[in-house]
Structure 1
Amino acid sequence: MHVLPDSFNDLMSGCLPENPWRKFPFTTFVAMLSAVLTLMVDSFAMSVYKKRCGKALMADANNGGGLENTNVVPIDNFEHGHSHSLEMNDDVSSQLLRHRVIAQVLELGIVVHSVVIGLAMGASGNQCTIRSLIAALCFHQMFEGMGLGGCILQAEYEIKMKAIMVFFFSATTPLGIVLGIGLSKVYSETSPTSLMVVGLLNACSAGLLNYMALVDLLAADFLGPKLQTNMKLQAWSYVAVLLGAGFMSLMAKWA
């Protein structure tokens, strides 16, 4: 909610040259490119998997052909059941891969966003700003962590991978704060370099997170069979989404 406006403020700042920063909407352009790039990663990952799966099915079919050449006649029901089992395994594996792609891309977007927030907090010398940011950040990170945690559980990673992803989520904001404190003497929020870097990172993060929220998270749930077959549950889910969006919008006032 606050990432895109922050990027607008940074890249349209009077501290940057008017040409080209205030003559071209870099924020929306970079956010659009980020969303398209996320779509490309999502699409290519699924395509690579399906290609590999197709080769595996072809190899399995060839093995079946070998059985036929040895005059062993398989039972029709067995063939049908075997084919159906392969299709079910393919669907489950495809869904699992999609969950893993979603978890990793979402983690990337949150990590970039968290580093930027931590950097701004660590470099800030205003105590009032820091206090409000800490309160907002606690709620902000809590809800992001809940969303990311759900994605990690759906991805069914091994315990080592889960620990790595949790570590990066937990460590990036403190790392950004430490980096901001270390650079506080040389880092200026109004310097052209910092405005460009932070503004572009915020725009990238906004495009990525918007795509993930609308396409991979909300659309996947609301267009899935569980909600499509239960109108009451679907209505309550929309209420929950609107309440959550309203609450996060309120938090954006201080974040």
Structure 2
Amino acid sequence: MFSERQSLASTSLPKLALAAVLALALLHLSFTLSHHSRSTSFSATAQLPQPTDGGYIHGALFLLAASSTGIAFSMILVNHRSESLDGFVQLSKMFGIGVLLSTAWIHLLPSAFEQFSNPSLDPYWKEYGTNHVGLFALIATFIVQRIEFSAKNAMSQLNARLDARTSIQMESGDAPCEETPLIAPATSSSYPGNKEVTVVLLEIGILFHSAIMGVTLGVSPSDAFSKLIVPICFHQLFEGMALGVLVGGLNVSKSHKRVLWGLYPIATPIAVGIGAAIRSIYNPDSPAIILAQGILEALSAGILFYNTYVELMSEEVVHSLKFHTYSHGFKQVCFLAMYLGAASMAIVGIWV
């Protein structure tokens, strides 16, 4: 019976992952159509010095290697987890929290403000200006909170139905083995279904960010491309480590974890390839492109803010009984790991 509950709880993961891929595909399609419709007005952009096709391929491979290395580190860490490694896993999780927060504060939010303050935007969007950043981030937090609430409510109803079935079986003398409830009675975010949704939504926000970053890199001229590729590789490495540890901690099948682990490394290289394919018709001053980037970056920032503060920093640290059992010294080391994670991404923000 417990395996049935676990299976039912995790069936939404592939659907959410596929939804993320579909969203990215639609984003890239909108970019391509928008650029094509304006191709006659910015032929000068196509004359900028561009890296060779081999340079794009090598850059995409470097990004794939960096992202895969971060994810692989997390996979090895989680798959070989033992009591002796629990402390290191906790430090890695804290480092990841810092990385995700710094990504939202340093990489997403300022970029969204920059897009909504761009003078090329249509007058309608200029009227409310940079307030749109807060508006879309706020919308994202409301959406994420509602999705998590709906997921938790669905889990509660599922438990109620399965418990009723168990009661009927016990009354009829066909009682099953003792089971662990799908949703624990404790009031925390340790609900398996709730945590799964949280991590999937985090990955969706990260994938949006990776897509924008990859397309931007793909359409960059040669001098900017060569300067950006190294810091973006470090960005992907740190972010992959952070995401991988969270995915590894989910109570789902290995196949579902592989899907979530596999989506992240390929997102940015694919986006680089798409950017390289459309660079001859790319217009960085297109109002549609500026608006799309600003909205998606604000939404991604809202997703990362909500999930990192509410589901990770608060529930994994402040309200975690396990964390409070650690020694005072180890707690300080954990906080230091979080600050180092934030600092690492802040330093990368000098270039990216």
1:210 positional shift = 1.4
Q: Is the 8 A contact 2:155 2:182 kept in 1?
A: no
- Shift, 1:160, TM fit: 2.7
C-alpha distance in structure 2 between counterparts of 1:20 and 1:163, whole Å: 41
**8 Å CA contact 1:97, 1:155 repeated in 2:** no
Question: How many residues of Structure 1 are paired with residues of Structure 2 in the alignment?
Answer: 239
Aligned-residue RMSD, C-alpha: 2.3
Unaligned ranges ≥5, structure 2: 1-105
Q: Hey, what does 2:91 align to over in structure 1?
A: none
In the TM superposition, residue 95 of structure 1 has moved relative to its aligned partner by 3.0
Structure 2 Cα separation of the partners of residues 49 and 163 of structure 1:
23
Task: Provide the rounded CA distance (Å) in 1 between the counterparts of 2:269 and 2:225.
Answer: 14
**Which residue matches 1:114?**
210
2:149 aligns with 43
Moved more, 56-65 or 166-175: 56-65
C-alpha distance in structure 1 between counterparts of 2:196 and 2:290, whole Å: 33
Residue number in structure 2 paired with 1:59: 165
Deviation sequence 1:119-140 (CA, Å, 0-9, x none): 1000111x33222321111111
C-alpha deviations, 1:67-115, integer Å up to 9, x for none? 5xxxxxx9xxxxxxx8xx55655429x6332332222112211111100
- Per the alignment, residue 338 of structure 2 pairs with 241
Q: Work out whether 1:228 is the aligned partner of 2:324.
A: yes
Give the alignment of 1:5-44 within 5 angstroms: 5-24=110-129, 25-44=131-150
Q: Once the 2 structures are TM-superposed, how far is the Cα of residue 161 of structure 1 from its aligned partner? A: 2.3
Q: Contact conserved, 2:219 with 2:276, CA < 8 A, in 1?
A: yes
SS at match of 1:185: helix
Matches of 1:129 and 1:35, distance apart in 2: 34
Aligned partner of residue 205 in structure 1, secondary structure: helix
Cα distance between partner residues in 1 of 2:302 and 2:334: 24
Number of the residue aligned with 1:185 = 280
Q: Distance in 1 between matches of 2:118 and 2:127?
A: 8
Alignment of 1:130-145 (within 5 A): 130-145=225-240
| Contact 1:99/1:151, CA 8 A, preserved across alignment | no
Please state whether the residue corresponding to 1:2 is helix, strand or coil: helix
CA separation of 1:22 and 1:235: change in aligned 2, threshold 3 A: farther
What amino acid does structure 2 have at the position aligned with 1:133? L
Shift of 1:20: 3.1
Deviations 1:144-194 (A, max 9, x none): 111211122111433332332222211110111111111112221111111
SS of aligned partner of 2:350:
coil
Alignment partners' CA distance in 1, 2:339 and 2:258: 32
Match for residue 261 of structure 2 among 161, 166, 171: 166
Aligned-residue identity in percent: 23
Q: Which has the larger radius of gyration?
A: 1
* Cα shift at 1:63: 3.0
Instruction: Give the aligned residue type for 1:35.
Output: T
Q: Is the CA contact (8 Å cut-off) linking 1:12 and 1:22 kept in structure 2? A: no
Q: Which runs of 5+ in 1 are unaligned?
A: 68-73, 75-81
2:215, 2:275 within 8 Å by CA — same for their partners in 1? yes
Please, what TM-score do these two structures have when normalized by structure 1? 0.85
